[in-house]
Structure 1
Amino acid sequence: MTSPDSRPSPSPDGSTTDGLLSLHGPEFAADPEGVYRRLRAYGPIAPVELSPGVPGMLVTDYDVALEILRDQVRFPRDARRWQQGIPPDCPVLPIMAYRPTCNLTDDPLRSRLREAVTDALDRVDQNALRTFVERSASRLIGRMSPLGEADLRTEYALVLPLLVFNELFGCPAELGERMVAAVREVLKWENSEEANMTLGLAVLELMALKRENPGQDVTTWLMEHPAELTDEEVAHQIVMIVGAGSELAQNLIVNTLRLLLSDERFGGGLSGGSLSVEDALDEVLWTDPPLANFGISYPVEPLDFHGVRLPADQPVVISFAAANNDPSTRAEDRAGNRAHLSWGVGPHACPAQGQARIIATVAIEKLLDGLPDMELAVPAEELTWRPGFIQRALSSLPVRFPSTPEPAPPPLAEPYPVTEAGDEDVPETPTASGAEEPSAPKAPARWWRRLANWWAGDAG
């Protein structure tokens, strides 16, 4: 492990002084495909720098990625031995550190956690979910349409998954915003340690509310599941789902809208192009997946694997983006082909991919119906991408469209402020149970204080 005092610095071509190609910084964000092409010269797995001073191995080959994703024995997910050598202020640590979640653990714990998460998500009524997304999308579009311009990331794709999360988890609007804002801070790779604490405490507050006022929502179902998850385990499953359900759903919506607005195959009026929204979603999941590099494992001993020496306890990262576009397996026509790796494969495949696809599909279809003459406000090549090796995420997606007369606003509950959307207000959503949202207890119960101390690293 490179010490903090001798961390290599990136050169203009994106490599560090010790020759590793960097997966952090603006160079990689601007041209990840160029970096993947260079890495393929090393073979199916290549050495990279994930964060300043943090080396790893990146898998760019489709077949090799499949083999690793399906092998829990040689490629376990437990990061605890690796993270012992990582400074606590490392910006990628909150994302990569061990958590008792179904995507970061191995059997038998993985199976028990996975059962609880899958069962809770399966109880979500998909027709009700679709209806809720349609209604929420219509309200957001109604607020944008009189203005003639919008940033679809901050004013639409960022907000809509948050509203859905609040509904599914029985979460008060202010608390949901706090959680999602913390997730965004973690993925900015700045102040990530503090943001991780903010996220954890917000989740614990939600659990305290649900303990006093259980409802027909995912939080309650996790807490009451027959697998008898501990409080710590419930908290971490919620962190996992809100992280994926907010940031990654947002990026899937934005990346698909970018394709629809910039590719002539979808032209001739967005609702009348030659390819469908489902086709566009599939293409983005192949070429620009919102989770670009993850599925991280940590071999417990050195491995000679497909001609590459893998060090013990060093991250092996699956590049979903690079493996999906592996030249040796890429087909010219992939319409309708869903054999991409973007939801993961094997025992750690995303348990919420069905719900995520509903949210993204409905969000995009409603927007195309509501603003059919929408176009990019800047050339597509001028759009910028946020740094970070894990997500593939635009900084903004500015559009313009003919403004429409402002309709009479529907009756709403208390307005819900959205931090990144300027002065716009978004309606507060009802909880899944339809009951009035409870307020946090003034004096947290002993279990809440104990759990908060545990999250902060105080075992006492």
Structure 2
Amino acid sequence: MTSKAAPGQACPVQHGRMPLYGPEFAADPVATYQALRQYGPVAPVELAPGVSANLVVGYDAALEVLRNPNTFPRNPVQWQEKMPPDCPVLPMMMYRPNALFADGAAHARYRAAVTDSLARVDLSALRAQVEFTADLLIGRFGPRGEANLLAEYAMLVPLMMFNHLYGCPPELGERMVAGMRGIFDMIDPEKANAELTQAMLELIELKRRQPGQDVPSWMMAHPAQLSDEEVLHHLILLMGAGTEPEQNLIANGIRLLLSDERFAGDLSGGSLPVEEALDEVLWTDPPMANYSASYPVEDTDFAGVRLPAAEPVVISFAGANNDPVLANQQRSGNRAHLAWSAGPHSCPAQQQARLMASVAIEKLLDGLPDMRLAVAVDELVWRPGPFHRALTALPVRFTPVNVPVQPDETPGETPWTATPAPSSSTRQAETSTPKQPSSPSTARRRWWSFLAKWWRGR
């Protein structure tokens, strides 16, 4: 039996290792990172009961690991073979044939399919879609004068955007996000992974029958010639990176803006405070706190620690970003943080992710200028789990408003897709679907009409 940690104290050590799970860690992970620094840049942890790992909490050490895939490769198969099937972190860390778990030529092939497909999303159209989605959601809770912004906004914006980017029916998108959430929270993760996989397989089958102007269809048509299994696991990767962390970035940015006196009185002044808040969140409270596991090919001496072969070396983005050696650096406007990772496996969609978060927050502040937290900031509760930094709820109050929304109209005439940029791996003729004169506009109008009716419960 272990004792409960007092506020501001790290969780009690388990089996000689600091646990990265449980309500104590969720409530105050900073105390755990501080305690881990006694070991140096790399420290022994448990990701779940009985699941050992080494956590990199030093900034320079994290960069060295992330930039050196020869010594720290991403393939977890050796480690995975020793884990029981019901290991709660397995769905987040198990091998999948995608860019996150590959190195060398395989990684280059996978990465090209991802980056070339994402490059076809027009950023102006993406902004318009986020603005339209934000107005739609604010219009639902605005007249009440109160809302849980996590469930009613921060979670739904990326869900609805991914439904659109994936050309995905809303019921499938909802099942995907429910499965992803279960994996992150480690609540029956085996079942959650199965449900997520099934929903993705149904989407792939749909896109094989009816390809469209969407990310799954572009990936299937890419010269990399991904198999259905590879497409499946890249769609899971993008959804995992683009929904759960994105909702945390939006929610944590709003929390900071509403609770930090440095931003008080300046919330309706444009994009500057929003951009500053996002920079600060990405530095101090990144939405993915600990991830990007690698597995040394042999016993390795690194940063004063003996790292066993095939045991996970996990990057603490939160710990490394807050390394005391960086304390004197100016973080505002400085984007050298590790929230998007670094090296060959850095996030390929950070531009799109940041745009979505900043536009979503700006629209909320413009629409609800007197918004305030409904509880004290220290009463907010954080979800458990070693990987993310995620609130359970974000209750707010504001003067009731009515936001005019015309849900049967499309948000502007900007084409959804951009002309693919030239790439060494992509020939335009093979990745571009000829655009018919009228069908894209008609299809988008049908999509938004259907989506609006779904949100109205019809």
Per the normalisation by structure 2, the TM-score is 0.87
Q: Contact conserved, 1:302 with 1:310, CA < 8 A, in 2?
A: yes
Indicate conservation of the 8 Å contact 1:169/1:217, yes or no.
yes
1:147 aligned partner: 144
Match of 1:167 among 145, 164, 168: 164
1:117 match = 114
Displacement of 1:144? 1.3
Is contact 1:217–1:433 with CA below 8 Å preserved after alignment?
no
Deviation, structure 1 residue 132: 0.4
Partner of residue 226, structure 2:
229
Distance 1:410 1:436, change over 3 A: closer
- The alpha-carbon distance between structure 1 residues 272 and 409, as it changes in their structure 2 partners (threshold 3 A), is closer
The 8 Å contact of residues 291 and 316 in structure 2, kept in 1 or not, is answered as yes
* Equivalent residue in structure 1 for 2:406, among 405, 410, 415: 410
Over 3 Å counting, the alpha-carbon distance change for 1:179 and 1:53 in structure 2 is: same
Deviation at 1:11, TM superposition (A): 3.9
How far, CA to CA, are the matches of 1:177 and 1:326 in structure 2? 37
1:60 to 53, 57, 72: 57
Among candidates 41, 48, 52, match of residue 38 of structure 2? 41
Alignment of 1:12 with 2:29, yes or no, is no
Alignment of 1:183-194 (within 5 A): 183-194=180-191
- In 2, the alpha carbon distance for the partners of 1:264 and 1:271 equals 14
Quote the Cα distance in structure 2 between the aligned partners of 1:436 and 1:105: 39
Q: Distance in 2 between matches of 1:431 and 1:332?
A: 48
Aligned pairs (5 A) from 1:311-390? 311-390=308-387
The answer (yes or no) to whether the contact 2:27–2:381 under 8 Å persists in 1 is: yes
Q: Of 178, 181, 185, which aligns to 2:178? A: 181
Query: Alpha-carbon deviation of 1:435?
Result: 8.0
What residue in structure 2 maps to residue 261 of structure 1? 258
Q: How many residues align?
A: 412
8 Å Cα contact 1:267/1:273 also seen in 2: no
Return the match for 1:434 from 431, 444, 448: 444
Match of 2:206 among 206, 209, 218: 209
The 3 A distance-change label for structure 1 pair 283 and 203 is same
Tell me: CA distance 1:261–1:435, structure 2 relative to 1, closer, same or farther (3 Å): closer
* CA–CA distance in structure 1, aligned partners of residues 272 and 442 of structure 2: 35
> What's the CA shift for 1:331?
2.8
Corresponding residue for 1:5? none
Alpha-carbon deviations, 1:362-420, whole Å to 9, x = none? 0000000000000000000111110111000011110000113x46763459xxxxxxx
Contact in 1 for aligned 2:180/2:244 (Cα 8 Å): yes
> 1:41 is paired with a residue of what secondary structure?
helix
Following TM superposition, by how much is the alpha carbon of 1:163 offset from its aligned partner in structure 2, in angstroms?
A: 0.8
Following TM superposition, by how much is the alpha carbon of 1:355 offset from its aligned partner in structure 2, in angstroms? 0.6
- Give aligned-pair identity as a percent: 58
Instruction: Find the aligned partners of 1:264 and 1:132 in 2 and give their Cα distance.
Output: 32
Which stretch shifts more, 358-367 or 299-308? Answer: 299-308
2:428 is matched with which residue?
A: none
Structure 1: stretches of 5+ with no match in the other structure? 1-8, 414-429, 438-460
Tell me the distance in 1 between the aligned counterparts of 2:405 and 2:244: 28
Q: Give 3-state SS (helix, strand or coil) of 1:88's partner.
A: coil
C-alpha distance in 2 between matches for 1:98 and 1:252:
26
Q: 1:128 to 1:407 in 2, by over 3 A?
A: closer
Residue of structure 2 in register with 1:426 after alignment: none
CA distance in 2, matches of 1:305, 1:434: 53
1:162 touches 1:180 (CA, 8 Å); kept in 2? yes
Provide the C-alpha distance between the structure 1 equivalents of 2:152 and 2:224, rounded to a whole number of angstroms.
39
Aligned to 2:454: none
Aligned to 2:98: 101
> Aligned pair 1:310/2:302, yes or no?
no
Q: Do 1:269 and 1:372's aligned partners in 2 also have CA atoms closer than 8 Å?
A: no
Separation of aligned partners in 2, 1:371 and 1:102: 40
- Distance in 2 between the 1:205 and 1:368 partners? 37
2:393 paired residue among 391, 396, 402 = 396
1:325 shift after superposition: 0.7
1:295 maps to 292
Q: Deviations over 1:18-58 (max 9, x none)?
A: 22111000111111110011100001100011101001000
CA apart distance, 1:432: 10
Alignment correspondent of 1:158: 155
Q: Distance in 2 between matches of 1:318 and 1:58?
A: 6
SS of residue matched to 2:163: helix
Name the aligned partner's letter for residue 139 of structure 1: L
| CA distance in structure 1 between the aligned counterparts of 2:138 and 2:354, rounded to whole angstroms | 20
Contact 1:255 1:284 in 2 (8 A): yes
Question: Which residue pairs with 2:132 in the alignment?
Answer: 135
Q: Describe the superposition over 1:254-307 as per-residue Cα deviations: whole angstroms up to 9, x where unpaired.
A: 000000000011101521499521111000000000000011101121111121
Match of 2:420 in 1: none
Cα distance in 2, alignment partners of residues 235 and 279 from structure 1: 36
170 and 37 in structure 1: CA distance in 2 versus 1, 3 angstrom threshold:
same
Q: Is the 8 A contact 1:248 1:391 kept in 2?
A: yes
Question: Cα 1:18–1:431, aligned 2, differ >3 Å: closer, same or farther?
Answer: farther
Q: SS state of the match for residue 277, structure 2?
A: helix
Q: Label 1:218 to 1:328 Cα distance change in 2 as closer, same or farther (>3 A).
A: same
Gaps of 5+ in 2: 6-10, 410-439, 448-458
Contact map agreement 2:270 2:362 (CA 8 A) in 1? no
Q: Residue 8 of structure 2 aligns with which residue? A: none
**1:267-278 equivalences in 2 (<5 Å):** 267-272=264-269, 276-278=273-275
**Counterpart-to-counterpart distance in 1, 2:103 and 2:258:** 41
Question: Which residue number corresponds to residue 51 of structure 1?
Answer: 48
**Per-residue deviation, 1:59:** 0.3
Please give the alpha-carbon distance, in whole angstroms, between the structure 2 residues aligned to 1:10 and 1:283.
35
Check if 1:30 corresponds to 2:27.
yes
Q: Give SS of 1:74's match.
A: coil
